[in-house]
Amino acid sequence: MSEHYKVTENDQSKRIDKLLTEVIEEASRSQIQGWLKDGIVSVDGKPVKSNYKVQEGESITWHIPEPEPMDILPEDIPIEIVYEDEDVIVVNKPSGMVIHPAAGHYSGTLVNALLFHVKDLSGINGVERPGIVHRIDKDTSGLLMVAKNDLAHQSLAEQLSKKTVERKYEAIVHGEIHHEYGTIDAPIGRDPKDRQRMAVVDGGRDAVTHFRVLRHFTDFTLVECKLETGRTHQIRVHMRYIEHPLAGDPKYGPRKTLDLDGQALHAKSLGFEHPRTGEWKKFEVEPPAEFKETLKYLETREV
């Protein structure tokens, strides 16, 4: 199915590849340039080059090609399964593990590990993302729910949509937060200055994060964040927005920070209604060793 976009006055004279990276959230600029080269993007019915400058009133049409299916192989990778039954698996994902195969990460992912340990997974998200209902970032550790069949997948996805899934995170952030509770209600979309990042932007998707302070340190604060929505990089973007970026965050944090392999963010608590029984299930896991060691280091600085 083709998609269309009408060029507005604000778009006047923008390069078409740059404009489409703003319009199509799921595509990178290099992908769009490839589509333009292949002639699957047209302006008023005619193919154009990447450097074409659009004019108000023009109609851009494109058809995003279906990704070629990858041969996803089971791999004997140790994973911590916190809970499992005939419908659902809850996994404690380690920091550094990618959720599903994609460009640059065709093996060593959580999906590769799941395919080895579990016979059946929901097929709703296709062969690349079997059973995956929601995601956490590569360098974020913690709890993730996985569907073993389509019935469970539909139920869990609906709960996420209705905002009834309880997801709590612990994070170490820069600066000292001087109020104990807060809510960040700010829309998130692609950063117009850097398409590889997300940002709080006008016209972005609704995003709400609640937080409370757990502990104060000199120059840092330990917080608990509760997600009401689940946008890409939501906690990382929202904490940066209120000028308390996550420690160790290579994308949204300062360069001079704590010595960490990625952002200090841990999905510690997960609660949902069981898709078959209706029973409320809640799980909690401790942060990984590196996170705990960082807290101990911050404690020693207080002495």
Tens of pLDDT, residue by residue over 71-94, are 788 999 999 999 999 999 999 999
Q: Are 283 and 176 within one domain? A: yes
Domain range enclosing 34? 3-62
Q: Any catalytic annotation for residue 150?
A: no
Task: Kindly write down the DSSP assignment for every residue of 68-88, as one continuous string.
Answer: PPP-PPP-----EEEEE-SSE
CB 264 within 8 A of CB 246: yes
Most confident region among 17-26, 121-130, 198-207 by mean pLDDT = 198-207
pLDDT of residue 240: 98
For residue 50, what is the domain's CATH number? 3.10.290.10
pLDDT at 32: 87
**Phi and psi at residue 100, to the nearest 5°:** -135, 155
Kindly give the pairing relationship between strand 280-284 and strand 265-273: antiparallel
Give the alpha-carbon dihedral of 212, 215, 216, 217, to 10 degrees: -140
Residue 111, CA atoms < 13 Å, CB-side half-sphere? 27
**pLDDT at residue number 189:** 93
Mean pLDDT of 135-147: 96
**Annotated catalytic residue, options 137, 150, 185, 206:** 137
Residue 67 has pLDDT above 60, yes or no: no
55 and 89 housed in the same domain: no
In this structure, the answer to whether residues 119 and 256 fall within a common structural domain is yes
Residues 110 and 33 in one domain: no
Say which residues have a Cβ less than 8 Å from residue 294's Cβ, sequence separation at least 6.
172, 247, 258, 260, 264
The 10 Å Cβ neighbour count of residue 269 is 18
Q: Do 46 and 122 share a domain, yes or no?
A: no
Indicate whether 202 pLDDT > 80: yes
pLDDT tens, residue by residue, 35-60: 898 888 999 999 999 999 999 999 99
**Count of structural domains within the chain:** 2
Residue 274: closest CA among 149, 169, 140, 112: 149
| Average pLDDT of the segment spanning 276-300 | 97
SS3 annotation, 136-148? CCCCCEEEEEEEC
Bigger pLDDT: 6 or 69? 6
Q: Is residue 71 part of a domain?
A: no
- If asked whether residues 183 and 236 sit together in one domain, one would say yes
Token duo for residue 238: 């929202």
d(Cα 270, Cα 263) in Å, to the nearest integer?
Answer: 20
For the chain, the average pLDDT equals 91
User: What is the distance between the terminal CA atoms of the chain, rounded to a whole angstrom?
Assistant: 63
